[in-house]
Structure 1
Amino acid sequence: MRILVVNVNTTESMTESIAAQARAVAAPGTEIVGLTPFIGADSVEGNFESYLAAIGVLDRVLAYDEPYDAVVQAGFGEHGQEGLKEVLEVPVVDITDAAAHLACLLGYRYSVVTTLDRAVPLIEERLMLGGVADHCASVRASGLGVLELEGDQDVVLAAITDQAVRAIKEDGAEVLVLGCGGMAGLDAAVREATGAPTVDGVAAAVKLAESLVNLGLKTSKVRTYAPPRPKTVVNWPLHRLLQR
């Protein structure tokens, strides 16, 4: 089985970290291929960058010319998975949906700890679209920018843990969700510090993708995610214009 794990930003080191976490949880025999978009921002922290990332991710996946069995979109609260589901036959799993659905299995209410405050509305909207907002106690911002997650890990963990503890004490959260692909691999440390189950979206998405493939399940093409109607799309795909 081969799973494409696509970073939504263009920072290669973050793609490598995300792919490493994906490989750490993947079953024997599952190959993880980490992909970085050819276009986009080095970090995705708002609507403009998120919409740009949606195009970049779609283009990057279409440029991959080897067989694969599933795609994981490794951006928390970002746009784009719907387009992937239309054009691909294989399962597409977004880390936001994967983490939230698993969190709902582990407790009555969960909280998301993300990066900057401006990302909170995007995540809240994504949770509503995914049908998992009713059990979300809160979405809290750690105050860290996405690229700061690659800095001093003691500082990073302290900021995330502080909001995680507040979510439990003040918001009634029973389960915690790490709200950024760049937080991949920090779940064990947060779980130890808080005593609450902590879900890493990258790990959750990889395991759900494996399950869908093993069960022979694919995205429904009956209505919402039916293939796009044939028409002329100017200057698409981008990777051909960029000669990638």
Structure 2
Amino acid sequence: MRILVVNVNTAASMTEAIRARAARAAAPGTDIVALTPFFGPESVEGNLESYLAAVAVMDRVLAYTEPYDAVVQAGFGEHGREGLQELLDVPVVDITEAAAHIACLIGRSYSVVTSLERTVPQIEDRLKLAGLGERCASVRASGLGVLELEADPGGAVDAIVRVARQAIEQDRAEVICLGCGGMTGLEEKVAAATGVPVVDGVASAVKLAEALLGLGLSTSKIRTYARPRAKTITAWPLHQHIPQENAI
């Protein structure tokens, strides 16, 4: 099987880090293809950038012409998963929801440690929308921007561990979710330092995508995620990539 793992920002180095973690999680025989959007912000840290990234991710996936079996959206708390599910027939898994689902299987409550404080409400909203907010003990910010996390992995681990301990001690969290694609690959060090399970969204999304494919399941098209209706949308940037039968 082939899984497309799509970075939500345009930082190629982060795409490579996401690819490496996804490939490490993938089962033998699963081909991981990592994609970087053609346009958009270099990092996604707010609603404006998230909406821009949503369009960029859809554009990048629809421009990919080789066969694939599933898509992972590798942005924590970002918009766009629902649009991909309308456009595609294959399973679409968002790393935010994947991490939370896995956390709920291994603990009564979980906390998310993310990048900046401004992203906290956005993540809270996405978890509530997905029906995963009730068991979320807290969403806490490390204070490091997305690109800072990538530039200084050692400092990132220290900051994540400090905030994770606060979530465990003060919020009674039993599991920690890494709340940023730029944190991928740090889960083992954070787990060793905190003594609780730490969930990486990229790895979780890949395994859940494999599970859906193994079960022969994909997105229901009966109502919420039915294909877009045919209509004219002036200057829509995805138009050139959408097959005629799915034109919007």
Q: CA deviation at 1:153?
A: 1.9
Q: CA deviation at 1:75?
A: 0.3
The alignment status of 1:23 with 2:38, answered yes or no, reads no
Q: CA deviation at 1:224?
A: 0.2
**8 Å CA contact retained: 2:4, 2:70:** yes
Partner of 1:132: 132
Q: CA deviation at 1:239?
A: 8.4
Partner of 1:119: 119
Question: C-alpha distance in 1, partners of 2:238/2:93?
Answer: 23
Superposed counterparts of 1:84-233, under 5 Å = 84-233=84-233
Question: C-alpha distance in 1, partners of 2:150/2:121?
Answer: 24
The alignment partner of 2:137 has SS state of strand
Partner of 2:245: none
Alpha-carbon displacement from aligned partner over 1:82-124 (angstroms, at most 9, x marks no partner):
0000010000000000000110011101000000000000000
**8 Å CA contact retained: 2:74, 2:95:** yes
The alignment partner of 2:219 has SS state of coil
Q: CA deviation at 1:48?
A: 0.3
The alignment partner of 2:126 has SS state of helix
Q: CA deviation at 1:161?
A: 0.3
The AA in structure 1 aligned to 2:134 is: D
Aligned CA-pair RMSD:
1.1
Question: C-alpha distance in 2, partners of 1:28/1:96?
Answer: 24
Query: Segments of 4+ in structure 1 off by > 4 A?
Result: 238-241
The AA in structure 2 aligned to 1:13 is: S
The alignment partner of 2:62 has SS state of helix
**8 Å CA contact retained: 1:99, 1:201:** yes
Question: C-alpha distance in 2, partners of 1:11/1:152?
Answer: 15
Unaligned runs of 5+ in 2: 242-248
Question: C-alpha distance in 2, partners of 1:119/1:178?
Answer: 13
Question: C-alpha distance in 2, partners of 1:74/1:24?
Answer: 15
**8 Å CA contact retained: 1:5, 1:33:** yes
**8 Å CA contact retained: 2:75, 2:95:** yes
Question: C-alpha distance in 2, partners of 1:91/1:170?
Answer: 37
**8 Å CA contact retained: 2:21, 2:202:** yes
Question: C-alpha distance in 2, partners of 1:185/1:209?
Answer: 19
TM-score calculated relative to the size of structure 1: 0.97
Superposed counterparts of 1:9-20, under 5 Å = 9-20=9-20
The alignment partner of 1:13 has SS state of helix
Unaligned runs of 5+ in 1: none
The alignment partner of 1:103 has SS state of helix
The alignment partner of 1:131 has SS state of coil
Percent identical among aligned pairs is 68
Partner of 1:77: 77
The alignment status of 1:40 with 2:44, answered yes or no, reads no
More deviation, 146-155/206-215: 146-155
The alignment partner of 1:224 has SS state of coil
The count of aligned residue pairs is 241
Alpha-carbon displacement from aligned partner over 1:24-66 (angstroms, at most 9, x marks no partner):
1100000000001111100000000000000000000000001
